Amino acid sequence: MSNKIILRLENITKRFGSVVAVDNISFDVYRGELFTLLGPSGCGKTTTLRIIAGLESPDAGKVYIDNVDVTEKPARERDVCLVFQEYAVFPHMSVFDNIAFGLKIRRLSKQDIKKKVMEVADLLELSDHLNTKGGRLGLSEQQKVAIARCLVVEPKILLLDEPLTLADARVRERMRRELKKLQKDLGITMIYVTHDQLEALMLSDRMAVMRSGKLIQLGSPEEIYDNPNELFIATFVGSPTINLLEGVLDIEKDQLILTTDARKYVIGRHINTAIYQHLTGSEVILGFRPEDVKISLDGTIEGVIKFIEVAGDKKIVHVKIDDHEIRLLADLLDPFVEGQNVKININMSKLHIFDKKTGRKILKR
């Protein structure tokens, strides 16, 4: 991935009537990067993609591709290609003609068209399907044809709008893997829209999390997962979902205490009180991921195991603590059983503290 910026959005705003679909967002995309727009339905990610593609015009702001202002340029002059969620493969046309469609519009010679189609078909393992009608293809092959139709015209940026939504879990996993490999092998710049946080974490070099038309955090998958700057992001990204405890923070000697409606919990012992001193008396929501909780004999919080799920080589252990349920990850061979009384420890270096009123993170690490 190059550090050279290929796409820049500056203060983009888009309204549909009284609804602000995209609200003053700005970001850069680097050449050769797989950049993901992540967020729930209706957050503005697809509208943002369509503005990049030239299918929607912003009400304010600028779009630059390779330092050229393309805000007013039509889609055909932007040197980008968009793969839709439905793939839009022509069912009556052969795979060859589907892939060649854009080249024919550009009036390339038959010899050049054949050469380019064969190269891309070989790359995407479509060579054996070139005479097959588009309507007879499975979802995986339809996606490949849609991508091939874009790649063959050699766009500067490949845009994908929820391309795996229609596939089942097994096919989606394989397609995701193939897409990532293709992007890396070709070094193509790809902007990918999804509501699936797992998909975004697995695919992205960097990702932008959106909500209600706003861009609320931008960073690598590791940064988004490890340091969410809002409670929304902490709960939206990650599976199993993050654990939350709500209450008032206090310090007693070298212990961090959270007082909830039920009781006081010792969140951590032997703490550096200087880190938390300014938070004393604050109404907060504590967040800690399941992998950052451990069952141990010297645990600070007592509970009882309600049930256990098997997840591959791990167990998801659900521990009931008063009115709360804490999820933690354990090894498959750990001898925990339902109904067992346990004590848990929270990894203090991984503790997230959010302001109860605003949902903003108030302890940066």
pLDDT digits (tens, 9 = 90+) for 318-350: 999 998 999 999 999 899 999 999 999 999 999
CB 167 within 8 A of CB 175: yes
For the segment 8-33, the average pLDDT, to the nearest whole number, is 97
Tell me, what's the pLDDT at 255? 95
The CATH number of the domain holding residue 257 is 2.40.50.140
What pLDDT digit, counting tens, does each position of 125-173 carry? Answer: 889 999 999 889 887 788 888 888 888 888 999 999 988 776 677 777 8
Residues 190 and 214 in one domain: yes
pTM: 0.88
20 found inside a domain: yes
The number of C-alpha atoms within 13 Å of 29 and in the hemisphere containing its C-beta is: 28
Find out whether 145 and 134 touch, Cβ atoms under 8 Å: yes
Q: For residue 5, what pLDDT band results from cuts at 50, 70 and 90?
A: very high
Average pLDDT in the 354-358 region?
A: 96
Which structural domain range is residue 292 located in? 243-355
What is residue 257's predicted lDDT score, i.e. its pLDDT?
96
Tell me the per-residue pLDDT of 68-126, one tens digit each, with 9 for 90 and over. 999 999 998 999 999 887 767 888 999 999 999 888 888 889 999 999 899 888 888 88
Share of the chain above pLDDT 90, in %: 70
pLDDT of residue 2: 60
- Residues 286-304, buried b or exposed e (16+ Cβ, 10 A)? bbbbbebbebeeebbbebe
Q: Which amino acid is at 175?
A: M
Phi-psi region of 87 (alpha: psi -120 to 50; beta: other; left: phi over 0): left
CA 229 to each of CA 47, 191, 251: distance values in angstroms, whole numbers, following the listed order: 24, 23, 24
Asked if residue 163 and residue 67 are part of one domain, the reply reads: yes
**Rounded Cα distance, 206 and 349, in Å:** 24
Choose from 94-108, 225-239, 269-283 the range with maximum mean pLDDT.
225-239
Give the Cβ contact number of residue 12 at 10 Å.
Answer: 24
Q: Tell whether 306 and 247 lie within a shared domain.
A: yes
Residue 285: CA count within 13 A, CB half-sphere: 19
Domain count, the chain: 2
Looking at residue 224, its pLDDT comes to 97
Burial of residue 285, with CB atoms counted within 10 A of its CB: 0-12 exposed, 13-18 middle, 19 or more buried: buried
Based on the domain organization, do 163 and 308 belong to the same domain? no
Band (pLDDT 50/70/90 cuts) for residue 181 is confident
Question: Is residue 365 situated within a structural domain?
Answer: no
Give residue-wise pLDDT tens across range 241-270.
999 999 999 999 899 999 998 889 999 999
Average of pLDDT values for 9-19? 97
* Pair (78, 224) in one structural domain: yes
Domain identity same for 224 and 255: no
Among the candidates 209, 236, 263, a domain finishes at 236
